């Protein structure tokens, strides 16, 4: 009974937390895919250039 009283208020918080984590991970992956090629790839050759 005690768990049933605690679960309904905390459940939306868990759902929101999951959603926020997913959005942050998706944003981080998008930024990584967009920025890493510009940083590490030579725009003329497309070859990785770490110098």
Give the separation between CA 35 and CA 43, rounded to whole angstroms: 12
Task: Look up the domain containing 35 and give its range.
Answer: 1-51
Give the separation between CA 32 and CA 3, rounded to whole angstroms: 41
H, E, C per residue of 1-49: CHHHHHHHHHHHHHHHHHHHHHHHHHHHHHHHHHHHHHHHECCCCCCEC
- Of residues 27 and 7, more confidence is placed in 27
pTM of the model: 0.48
How many distinct structural domains can be found in the chain?
A: 1
Give the separation between CA 45 and CA 24, rounded to whole angstroms: 32
- Give per-residue pLDDT as tens, 4-24: 555 555 678 888 999 999 999
């Amino acid at each position: 009974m005690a768990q049933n009283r605690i679960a309904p208020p905390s459940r939306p918080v868990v759902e929101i937390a999951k959603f926020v984590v997913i959005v942050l991970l998706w944003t981080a992956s998008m930024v990584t895919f967009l920025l890493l090629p510009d940083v590490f790839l030579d725009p003329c050759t497309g070859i990785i250039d770490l110098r």
